[in-house]
Structure 1
């Protein structure tokens, strides 16, 4: 199981700040979350960045070990 934490617009679209899911990769996680929460979150996920255990994830097909925390970060305005 993974812990997924949603921030900013991702939190609003998901309707929660965190949840646990069972997914093997970030690509699989994206599909699962979009199916679970609908089109609004699916749109956010298309442009979101993902941190896997606090490290930027650039390979969305890499394995996510059990117990991993994934942060979903939508694009932020400003800098």
Structure 2
């Protein structure tokens, strides 16, 4: 029983880490590019950094949404199979 709980926690952490990396890394990269642009041009408009991050997030969710749902579905199937084996 303890091994199953450990397996579930490790798998949940792995899925969460994948989701975070898929969503956050492009937003961080776009924020860095916009920050460098703002520093170079001395434009200090808050929406200039917010709008590209939103567009990158929408693009990532459209492009990787099916992969993310497949990861979540695989995790759910593993957990369901473990529950059925009890």
TM-score by length of 1: 0.28
Q: Per residue, is there more helix in 1 or in 2?
A: 2
- Structure number with higher strand proportion: 1
Q: Give TM-score, length-normalised by structure 2.
A: 0.27
